[in-house]
Amino acid sequence: MQQSDWLSQKEFSLNESNAFWTKEAEKLDWITSWKTLQSGSFNTGDIKWFEEGELNVCYNCVDRHLDKYADKTALIWEGDSPDDYKAISFDTLHKQVMRFANVLKKIGVKKGDVVCIYLPLILEAPIAMLACARIGAIHSVIFAGFSPQSIEDRVNDAASKFIITADGGFRGGKKVALKENVDIAIKNCPTVEKVLVVEHAKNDIQLEHGRDYLYHLLANEVGEQCDVEPMNAEDPLFILYTSGSTGKPKGVVHTTAGYLLYASLTHREIFGVRENDVYWCTADVGWITGHSYVVYGPLANRTTTLIYEGVPCYPAKSRFFDIVDKYQVNIFYTAPTAIRALQAEGDEAVLANTSRDSLRVLGSVGEPINREAWYWYHDKVGKSNCSIVDTWWQTETGGIMISPGFAHKQKPGSAMKSFLGIEAAILNKDTSKEISGALSAHDYGALAIKKPWPGMMRTLWGDHERYMDTYFNVYKGYYYPGDGAYRDQEGDIWISGRLDDIISIAGHRIGTAEVESVIDSHHAVAETAVIGIPDAIKGEVIYAYVTLERDSIPTDQLKKDIIAWVRKTYGPIATIKVIQWTDELPKTRSGKIMRRILRKIAHFEEAQIGDVSTLADPECVPALIEGRIDYR
Ligand code: WT7
């Protein structure tokens, strides 16, 4: 799309939004047409799209392409070792999904059941997701880097009876255990009845009779035909857990029609996908990016989508771009943290031996892309021939909400424009009023969305009240994502970061409360408060203030133990850079930890701490500054 076309589309999408969404929805294949386009509101929290319509997501991603494109490559898998790779056509994908779906039925999965998926990035991951969608089961993908505790929390929250896992995976030349993590988790998951194990790494694993089944054995016992289940537009397609600023992870629920429509539309328009493109989004299917822009969006658009099991710099520093050259990738979508990590390895090692001439569009997601990384991505990776497409969105939004898109001019660091059909506002944080004029990086407001869109989540699994309180009761009449933003003189949007207690480590959202409860559960620890501090590669990492139990001795070894404990209990993504011992945390008289003060101290901004008279013991502040560790 040219920019002028995009502008007229944008106008149409906002002025005649019903006609716009109707036109887009007609691009999907429906079994029964919908009766009501949209109902419900942000105030009542009962949003529905395409009521009474029926369709099947798997059919839309696979079956409908078979007529003319059966032989087109649907998925390319590149293993951890460059010698391991496979490509499958839409026809083969169709057959494998049907077989997988029949195996799910055989172990007792029924429409509406929640199936947890804990797999490495192998072909069976998208196949399992599509198989669930085909028979109307709700998948809940758990990132394979998560710990047994995280599996346990997610399985129990959704009372899931089924887990799909693998005997292991490969990352950077090493084998990763997966089934063992499931075995540990399952001890505390009373609802689990069946575990399906895909063979991949040939790890030694234990199988429990009557509970654990090897996929390939069952696959031989079932047929290759499996009809699609007609699903209501509003039936849940999947649950995906994401961190909140307090408490346990939230089970974000996405539904069938609205989600698929929004994922496919944004994928098509924002990246400007063409028929013969090879498209590679580096996200794992354990995150929303992997759901919307590895699996559902691309496949609904019959785009060839690539998945890579390994890590960016193995066996060579140039691995990412070796893969780009090997498959002639046209669209590449990754995160600023990966861009910065590659940049830090040096151009010689990362870029010199690759051509990257096939690239046309370079996407970025997860956090604001800093100027330095933007220019390296644009000038070096893309040789100044590609558009850089920043994309702001969230697990909750289902798809990209703010992005320059390939049709726009380039503005390093700005996410720029709300997408077709989406109206964004910036609110004054104190008065809740919309700000129409320009602001600056130091004077941002709260980002908000003004009207329902098809791809938005409909609820949090089992906790609709938390859904309302977190997203709709903060600023009445608006969807509040928790981010700050400002508009520049030209009306372009810049995202300034989270406004709540969420730390973004390598683009992954981590709730301070979750990490604190893990550190608190260490036997030597009495109390903890964690803060995000800047990191050149990961964006943010953790600065932890820890108060020990009276009889514990503060040693460097204990710091190492606590860091290892968090890696094991939460998962390696929770990177702790600094632990500062403290006898006391700053608290109000009612016992609330004053994070604001801890943040100022950890950021070396003690001059701005301001009034501490509301603290129960103001004397703890100088002691905290005194004991601060200089990580800079
Ligand atoms: C949070 C959502 C969307 C998939 C990846 C993360 C931050 C995401 C950007 C961007 C600035 C961004 C926001 C958002 N974020 N993309 N392009 N520019 N910030 O999904 O785990 O749900 O996290 O990531 O803070 O709220 P998520």
- CATH of residue 613: 3.30.300.30
- Provide the pLDDT for residue 438: 83
User: Which of the given ranges, 47-51, 334-338, 500-504, has the highest pLDDT on average?
Assistant: 47-51
Please determine, for residue 509, whether its predicted confidence score (pLDDT) is greater than 90.
no
Which residue is closest in CA terms to ligand 1's atom 19? 367
Work out the average pLDDT over 113-131.
98
Q: Percentages helix, strand, coil for the chain, rounded to the nearest 5?
A: 30, 25, 45
Instruction: Verify that 474 and 575 share a domain, yes or no.
Output: no
Cα distances (angstroms) measured from residue 491 to each of 303, 426, 480, 515, 620: 33, 11, 20, 38, 45
Cα separation, 415 vs 390, in Å, equals 5
Supply φ then ψ for residue 629, to 5 degrees. -105, 130
Supply φ then ψ for residue 5, to 5 degrees. -65, -40
Look-up of token digits 């603290």: 615
Instruction: Verify that 521 and 436 share a domain, yes or no.
Output: no
What are the CB-based long-range contacts (under 8 Å, 24+) for 565-570? 565/518, 565/519, 565/522, 566/515, 566/518, 566/519, 568/147, 569/147, 569/149, 569/518, 569/521, 570/147, 570/149, 570/150, 570/514, 570/515, 570/518
Assigned domain for 22 exists = yes
Nearest to 509 by CA among 142, 164, 227, 244: 244
Residue predicted with more confidence, 521 or 116: 116
Assigned domain for 590 exists = yes
| Residues of the domain holding 109 | 3-311+392-485
Work out the average pLDDT over 155-161.
98
Strands 236-242 and 250-255: antiparallel
Question: In 10 A of CB 462, how many CB atoms?
Answer: 13
Cα separation, 263 vs 47, in Å, equals 18
Strands 424-427 and 445-449: antiparallel
Please determine, for residue 589, whether its predicted confidence score (pLDDT) is greater than 90.
no
Instruction: Verify that 527 and 615 share a domain, yes or no.
Output: yes
CA of 493 to the centre of ligand 1 (A): 14
Mean pLDDT, the chain, as a whole number?
95
CA of 145 to the centre of ligand 1 (A): 19
Strands 502-505 and 250-255: unpaired
Domain boundary at 431, 455, 485, which? 485
- Provide the pLDDT for residue 610: 82
Strands 174-176 and 445-449: unpaired
Name residue 390's beta-bridge partners: 364
**Is residue 395 lining ligand 1, measured as CB closer than 6 Å?**
yes
- Provide the pLDDT for residue 511: 85
**Is residue 522 lining ligand 1, measured as CB closer than 6 Å?**
no
3-state SS string for 577-588:
EEEEECCCCCEE
- Provide the pLDDT for residue 394: 97
- Provide the pLDDT for residue 441: 74
- Provide the pLDDT for residue 593: 83
Instruction: Verify that 45 and 179 share a domain, yes or no.
Output: yes
Torsion angle of the four alpha carbons 228, 229, 233, 236, in this order, in degrees rounded to the nearest 10: -110
State the first-to-last Cα distance of the chain, in angstroms, to the nearest integer: 45
Instruction: Verify that 56 and 190 share a domain, yes or no.
Output: yes
Domain boundary at 485, 519, 547, which? 485
CA of 507 to the centre of ligand 1 (A): 7
User: Which residue of 270, 474, 509, 540 sits with most ligand 1 atoms within 8 Å of its CB, as the best mutation to test the pocket?
Assistant: 509
Which residue is closest in CA terms to ligand 1's atom 5? 366
How many domains, in total, are found in the chain? Answer: 2
* Token representation of residue 506: 């390598």
User: Which of the given ranges, 171-180, 238-247, 431-440, 611-620, has the highest pLDDT on average?
Assistant: 171-180
Nearest to 79 by CA among 37, 44, 123, 36: 123
Cα separation, 187 vs 192, in Å, equals 9
Stated pTM of the model? 0.92
Instruction: Verify that 52 and 117 share a domain, yes or no.
Output: yes
**Is residue 365 lining ligand 1, measured as CB closer than 6 Å?**
yes
Instruction: Verify that 481 and 519 share a domain, yes or no.
Output: no
Instruction: Verify that 415 and 535 share a domain, yes or no.
Output: no
Assigned domain for 342 exists = no
Please determine, for residue 326, whether its predicted confidence score (pLDDT) is greater than 90.
yes
Strands 304-308 and 278-281: parallel
Atom of ligand 1 nearest to the CA of 243: 21
Please determine, for residue 322, whether its predicted confidence score (pLDDT) is greater than 80.
yes
**Is residue 498 lining ligand 1, measured as CB closer than 6 Å?**
yes
**Is residue 50 lining ligand 1, measured as CB closer than 6 Å?**
no
Q: Is 408 left (phi over 0), alpha (psi -120 to 50) or beta?
A: beta
Assigned domain for 316 exists = no
CATH of the domain at 71: 3.40.50.12780
Assigned domain for 370 exists = no
Instruction: Verify that 406 and 551 share a domain, yes or no.
Output: no
Assigned domain for 205 exists = yes
Cα separation, 197 vs 216, in Å, equals 9
Assigned domain for 359 exists = no
**Is residue 392 lining ligand 1, measured as CB closer than 6 Å?**
yes
- Provide the pLDDT for residue 493: 95
Instruction: Verify that 514 and 411 share a domain, yes or no.
Output: no
- Provide the pLDDT for residue 183: 98
* Residue 565 pLDDT class (50, 70, 90 cuts): very high
The per-residue b/e assignment along 60-94, b for 16 or more CB within 10 angstroms, e otherwise, is bbbbbbeeeeeebbbbbbbbbeeeebeebbbbbbb
Do 239 and 233 touch, CB atoms closer than 8 A? no
Atom of ligand 1 nearest to the CA of 495: 11
Q: What kind and span of H or E run contains 392? A: none
Cα distances (angstroms) measured from residue 474 to each of 43, 208, 422, 427, 448: 11, 48, 20, 11, 10
Work out the average pLDDT over 32-53.
98
- Provide the pLDDT for residue 338: 92
Do 402 and 493 touch, CB atoms closer than 8 A? yes
138 SS3 class:
strand
Residue 397 per-residue DSSP state: G
* Residue 500 pLDDT class (50, 70, 90 cuts): confident
Work out the average pLDDT over 601-630.
90
* Residue 323 pLDDT class (50, 70, 90 cuts): very high
Instruction: Verify that 129 and 223 share a domain, yes or no.
Output: yes
Work out the average pLDDT over 188-194.
98
Domain boundary at 419, 454, 485, which? 485
Radius of gyration of the chain (CA): 24
**Is residue 290 lining ligand 1, measured as CB closer than 6 Å?**
no
In single-letter form, the type of residue at position 27 comes to K
- Provide the pLDDT for residue 406: 85
Work out the average pLDDT over 282-311.
97
* Residue 499 pLDDT class (50, 70, 90 cuts): confident
Assigned domain for 318 exists = no
**Is residue 470 lining ligand 1, measured as CB closer than 6 Å?**
no
Instruction: Verify that 429 and 519 share a domain, yes or no.
Output: no
